[in-house]
């Protein structure tokens, strides 16, 4: 849809819906937890993943509070679910009375929006529209559309879309893949422990290539959920990604108020790097960390330093970000090629595992696969993979976090071969802009992960996240 027709659609809708708004300052402290479950991602659901796509509703369950001996109790806990679309979802309740909506948990963006009104339309979304849970502003007494004069409108909406703003404030959020657009809303966000009034959330009316859910941006800019709630810290533990809508879940825990600089027991930390100054707002959303070494087997991969460390100049490329909304880790081609070369050598040494042709990997949007036909995937001892960060924190990944088995049927020969593919993707090699490495959710499975916003650091420890 062209931008102009999109705008007229939104203005039509804005005149249909009532616009009145006022903002007040959000109230004060506590901590929350929210359940997490996987969903497919905004960025790269591969065809293989898409075929597995099926939906289920994730019931919002209230988990009990985490006990932290000395630090403050969390504001809340909420469940996180694994989703068929390759991402992890949480359920948040908005409005009066509350309406529960599923959101992709996304640390790689900042805006918060939900599929909204009975007119919501999702193009290229590969999903049954009737399966998308919708927020209906008409049914909420606390829904207020933000008008064009409201300072929050200019802050969140992009300026080119604002030039035509007449009544209600339009937004257009862009992602690695796809967009979402609609009108900005002020609503009450409802946790069992606390209500947050005047939360700014996008009422999306038209999306392209989005999951059957909203997106809860946990990034670093002021419109993100952590910023709006004034969180000092949040943590999650992603259960094994099954590309399926299971009822299993783990917790997302939200903390408010200062908790000093005490470290959580057992966590290794690395500092967040300052975001680059850039006109590209996406770069301000990201959580950058300094990944200094990639170790495969016993070999340290030779990667030029210029890719690993963010250049804070006009080119603003390089560096590593942590992105829960991205399924498979993606590396810049020169980095990926160096990593793949070491894997290939180590696999050959281990036992004659030939690298499969590029066509095989392409079936899954992956770039490095080995033919393991006749062997049990679980029995293969893959070369170890370790990411070492500034400060010495080492992310030692279990094989399930970076290899996955796939069966492929070949007409020629009438037979099925099994492949183990590295669940790390290479970028096309065309574009040097943006982060050189995006650390996806597949690589974060079964780690307890903490975003300590107050102390600007990222912490993690290995942990089995699946609860009974």
Size of the site for ligand NAG (CB under 6 A): 8
Min separation Cβ 111 and ligand NAG, Å: 30
The answer to whether the CB of 117 falls within 8 A of the CB of 87 is no
417 binds ligand NAG (CB under 6 A): yes
Which of 147, 245, 285, 323 is catalytic? The answer is 323
> Among this protein's residues, is 251 annotated catalytic?
no
> Among this protein's residues, is 433 annotated catalytic?
no
Min separation Cβ 355 and ligand NAG, Å: 10
466 binds ligand NAG (CB under 6 A): no
Binding-residue pattern over the window 395 to 414 for ligand NAG, x denoting contact by CB under 6 A: -------------------x
Cα angle for residues 35, 53, 94 (degrees, 5° grid):
35
Closer by beta carbon to ligand NAG, 207 or else 246: 246
How far from chain centre, in Å, is Cα 410? 35
Min separation Cβ 28 and ligand NAG, Å: 42
240 binds ligand NAG (CB under 6 A): no
- Residue 237 makes CB contacts below 8 A (sequence gap 6+) with 36, 80, 250, 251, 446, 447, 448, 449, 463, 465
Min separation Cβ 436 and ligand NAG, Å: 32
Pairing of strands 31-40, 76-82: parallel
Per CB under 6 A, the segment of 151-159, 311-319, 366-374, 452-460 that binds ligand NAG is: 366-374
Q: Please name the residue that has the structure tokens 């999650």.
A: 236
Q: Is the peptide bond before 97 cis (omega within 30 degrees of 0)?
A: yes
User: Rounded CA gap, 385 and 343, in Å?
Assistant: 9
The answer to whether the CB of 252 falls within 8 A of the CB of 34 is yes
Task: Choose, by CB under 6 A, the member of 20, 59, 258, 373 that binds ligand NAG.
Answer: 373
Task: Choose, by CB under 6 A, the member of 371, 426, 444, 455 that binds ligand NAG.
Answer: 371
Residue 409 dihedral angles phi and psi, to the nearest 5°: -95, 130
Chain positions 41 to 60 lying near ligand NAG, rule: CB under 6 A, are 52
Phi-psi region of 316 (alpha: psi -120 to 50; beta: other; left: phi over 0): left
What is the set of active-site residues? Answer: 106, 323
Where on the chain is the footprint of ligand NAG (CB under 6 A)?
52, 242, 244, 371, 373-374, 414, 417
């Amino acid at each position: 849809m062209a931008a102009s027709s999109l705008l007229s659609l939104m203005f039509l809708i804005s005149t249909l819906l009532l616009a009145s708004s006022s903002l007040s300052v959000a109230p004060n402290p506590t901590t929350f937890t929210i359940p997490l479950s996987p969903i497919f991602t905004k960025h790269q659901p591969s065809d293989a993943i898409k075929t597995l796509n099926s939906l289920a509703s994730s019931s919002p369950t209230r988990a009990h509070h985490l006990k932290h001996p000395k630090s403050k109790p969390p504001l809340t806990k909420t469940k996180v679910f694994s989703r068929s679309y390759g991402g992890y979802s949480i359920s948040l309740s908005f409005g009066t009375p509350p309406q529960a909506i599923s959101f992709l948990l996304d640390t790689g963006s900042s805006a918060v929006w939900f599929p909204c009104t009975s007119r919501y339309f999702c193009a290229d979304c590969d999903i049954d529209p009737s399966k998308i849970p919708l927020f209906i502003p008409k049914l909420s007494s606390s829904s207020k559309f933000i008008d064009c004069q409201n300072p929050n409108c200019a802050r969140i909406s992009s300026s080119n879309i604002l030039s035509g703003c007449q009544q209600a404030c339009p937004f257009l959020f862009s992602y690695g893949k796809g967009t979402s657009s609609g009108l900005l809303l002020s609503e009450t966000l409802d946790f069992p422990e606390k209500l947050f009034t005047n939360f700014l959330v996008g009422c999306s009316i038209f999306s392209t290539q989005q999951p059957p859910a909203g997106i809860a941006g946990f990034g670093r800019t002021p419109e993100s959920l952590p910023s709006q709630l004034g969180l000092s810290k949040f943590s999650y533990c992603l259960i094994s990604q099954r590309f399926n809508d299971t009822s299993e879940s783990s917790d997302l825990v939200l903390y408010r108020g200062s908790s000093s600089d005490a470290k959580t027991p057992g966590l290794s930390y690395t500092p967040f790097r300052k975001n680059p100054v850039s006109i590209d707002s996406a770069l301000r959303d990201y959580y950058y960390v300094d990944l200094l070494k990639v170790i495969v087997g016993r070999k340290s991969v030779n990667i030029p330093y210029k890719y690993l460390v963010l250049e804070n100049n006009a080119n603003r490329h390089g560096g590593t970000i942590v992105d829960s909304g991205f399924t498979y880790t993606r590396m810049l081609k020169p980095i990926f090629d160096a990593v793949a070369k070491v894997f290939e050598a180590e696999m050959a040494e281990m036992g004659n595992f030939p690298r499969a042709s590029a066509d095989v990997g392409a079936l899954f949007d992956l770039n490095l696969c080995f033919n393991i036909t006749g062997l049990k995937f679980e029995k293969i001892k893959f070369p170890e993979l370790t990411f070492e960060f500034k400060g010495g924190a080492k992310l030692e990944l279990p094989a399930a976090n970076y290899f996955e088995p796939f069966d492929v049927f070949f007409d020629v020969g009438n037979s099925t071969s099994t492949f183990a593919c590295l669940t790390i993707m290479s970028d096309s090699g065309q574009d040097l802009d943006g982060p050189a490495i995006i650390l996806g959710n597949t690589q974060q499975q079964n780690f307890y992960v903490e975003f300590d916003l107050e102390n600007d650091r990222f912490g993690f420890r290995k942990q089995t996240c699946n609860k009974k």
